[in-house]
Amino acid sequence: MYHAHNSYLQVLAEVGLVGLLLIVLFWAVALKALLGTLGNLPSGSFERAFTLGVIFSALAQLVVGVFDYNWGAPSIMLPLMFLMGLALAAGRGTPGEIA
């Protein structure tokens, strides 16, 4: 199957302008949440370093999306989404600290 070598153009062609705006909104909200989590973690902690790595991984995928269509590849996006979820969960603290 042929595809555009640009994730943004591919999404625009497949789901239209509204779909593209929703995808961009998703990434904006996800990155904002990750940055908020990063701010709540103590300096020098493993969780902070992990979250920072996930943020840069997500940003890298957004940049690579300009040159290639990688958002349709589960082998790329599923691990990234899993790691994003772990980073967000790391910012919640231990179960005893949540309450």
Q: Provide the 3-class DSSP secondary structure of residue 69.
A: coil
Q: Give pLDDT, residue 94.
A: 60
DSSP 42: P
Residue range 34-42: mean pLDDT, rounded: 91
Mean of the per-residue pLDDT values of the chain:
90
Q: Give pLDDT, residue 90.
A: 87
41: nearest Cα among 29, 55, 27, 28: 55
CA distance 17 to 25: 12
Please indicate whether residue 1 or residue 6 has the higher confidence score (pLDDT).
6
Judged against a pLDDT cut of 90, whether residue 33 lies above it is answered with yes
Residue written as token pair 């590849």: 73
Contacts of 11 (CB under 8 A, 6+ apart): 19, 20, 23, 71
The pTM (predicted TM-score) of the whole model is: 0.84
